[in-house]
Amino acid sequence: MAVKLVRFGAPGTELPGLIDGEGRIRDLSGVLPDINGAALSPSSLARLRGLDPQTLPVVPAGTRLGAPLAGIGKIVCIGLNYADHAREANLPIPQEPIMFMKAQTAICGPNDAIVLPPGSEKTDWELELVIAIGTTARRVAVGDALGHVAGYLAGLDMSERYWQLERGGQWTKGKSFDTFAPIGPWLATADELRSPGELVMQLTVNGERMQDSHSANMIFSPAQIISYVSGVMTLEPGDLIFTGTPAGVGMGMTPPRYLRAGDRVDASIAGLGDQQHAVVAD
């Protein structure tokens, strides 16, 4: 049985859960302590697949959802992985994956507010398919790469372009502010999402469609990305890989359009749920 894993409750005190066949949250705290790297192991996931969700307590409707994964080790990101996004950024299509990192402290829940950094003038949106690693991957072949995936999530690689591009060329600086990595609402196990390269991706700002694309438009596939990154660094259970964004970001518009306090960002990836964010000032 495929599983959709969540974490629910107030920030900092989230409990593990899963989504049942009727879309209700079921409490997993009597089964495992949290959704973390250990919970993503093949044996742990097999145990979860064997559960009857009807035997688990129902979580009250409207309970806050946090980030569906705790104890994240590394957040590796792939830049310019859609040809249309590379073109709108006036950058060459990469010949091999471009890698950068985001800080773990940027993680937040799928409906939490996105907080603009003080003085922000160029905060931008990037909807991305996110890979969750379930078993250690070191120098793995492309053909073996997806065997190391525990599941997939929707994620936003929020980017303050001034800090990313005009403060010394360090992309990580513009992408690691608090709340700049919303993930969720759930982590779908790999058997729940058998075709990660065939997903509709959509994002709106204040109800206006900005991104409307498909994960099939990636330059480097999830398997290619995992193989490449694992040749540079060992990937461990609980690590995340953001796989790049399609066209439609604010930086690519004429004139560029960036987020302001009071804006609303709504995003979705087929099979991975919806995110809804208010944009607020720090």
In tens, the pLDDT along 63-122 reads 999 999 999 999 999 999 998 888 888 888 899 999 999 999 999 999 999 999 999 999
Query: What are the structural domains of the chain?
Result: 4-55 (no CATH), 75-281 (3.90.850.10)
| Coil, helix or strand at residue 266 | strand
Residues 6 or more apart whose Cβ sits within 8 Å of residue 71: 34, 36, 37, 238
At residue 90, the pLDDT reads 84
At residue 157, the pLDDT reads 98
At residue 117, the pLDDT reads 96
CA-based nearest residue to 134, from 73, 224, 182:
73
Handedness of CA 253, 259, 263, 268 (dihedral sign): positive
pLDDT tens-digit series, residues 210-264: 999 999 999 999 999 999 999 999 999 999 999 999 999 999 999 999 999 999 9
At residue 161, the pLDDT reads 95
Provide the whole-model pTM.
0.97
Q: How far is 38 from 45, CA to CA, in rounded Å?
A: 10
pLDDT tens-digit series, residues 200-219: 999 999 999 999 999 999 99
